[in-house]
Amino acid sequence: MNTPEVLTNFRLYYDGAKDMMGVVDVTVPDIEPLNASIKGAGILGELTVPILGHVGALAMTINFRTISQDVNLFNMPVPHVIDLRGAMQVQYTASGVRKIKPVRISGQGSTKKTGLGKFAVGEGNDSSVELELSRFSLMIDGMESILIDKLNNIYMVNGVDCLSDVNKALGL
């Protein structure tokens, strides 16, 4: 058994660049299924059920320490591809040995909002970018844990294609 302890560090890359993008912290998207309410014969009252493979908005916020050309990139009306690469510290409980496992979050989307922050002497200005992702991927230790591609009908969790029956029914 192993115990994930802490994200020791991470870097943000933009569209395959080799250099990291600014000094940032990132709020990654919540994955919230879209739901439908059903009621009728055989159901006592009302029941809320998830709609298979449909999720709400996948909003990602990137907070920059200061205004920079990196922030300005997100004002271009193009798809933005981002890549977060992290190092997660894990303790193997049997031996007590700590090791690092790679964690990677990738996404593609459009800018919803760019906040240029504030100006105050001796402080960062806390600029930010909010993206609406159409594609989201989470990899842990080289294994794709989650892949959601809203435009290509892909919803995979731990290697399981959760939409295989839906896509067959649609002729995809």
Q: How far apart are CA 115 and CA 81, in angstroms?
A: 19
Tell me what pLDDT residue 149 has: 98
Mean pLDDT over residues 114-124, rounded?
89
pLDDT band, very low/low/confident/very high, at 152 (cuts 50, 70, 90): very high
Query: Which helix H or strand E contains 73, and what residues bound it?
Result: helix 69-73
Q: How far apart are CA 83 and CA 73, in angstroms?
A: 15
**34-51: burial string, b at 16+ Cβ within 10 Å, e else:** eeeeeeeeeeeeeeeeee
Q: Hunting for tokens 């700590």 — which residue is that? A: 98
pLDDT band, very low/low/confident/very high, at 131 (cuts 50, 70, 90): very high
Question: Would the pLDDT of 13 be above 90?
Answer: yes
pLDDT band, very low/low/confident/very high, at 20 (cuts 50, 70, 90): confident
C-alpha dist (Å) from residue 15 to 19, 21, 90, 156: 10, 10, 29, 23
Taking only the tens place, the pLDDT of each residue in 57-114 is 999 999 999 888 889 899 999 999 999 999 999 999 899 999 999 999 999 999 999 9
Residue 51: alpha-carbon gap to chain centroid: 20
Taking only the tens place, the pLDDT of each residue in 29-68 is 999 999 999 999 999 999 999 999 999 999 999 999 988 8
Tell me what pLDDT residue 67 has: 84
Question: Would the pLDDT of 124 be above 90?
Answer: no
pTM of the model: 0.90
Tell me what pLDDT residue 17 has: 87
Query: Which helix H or strand E contains 105, and what residues bound it?
Result: strand 98-115
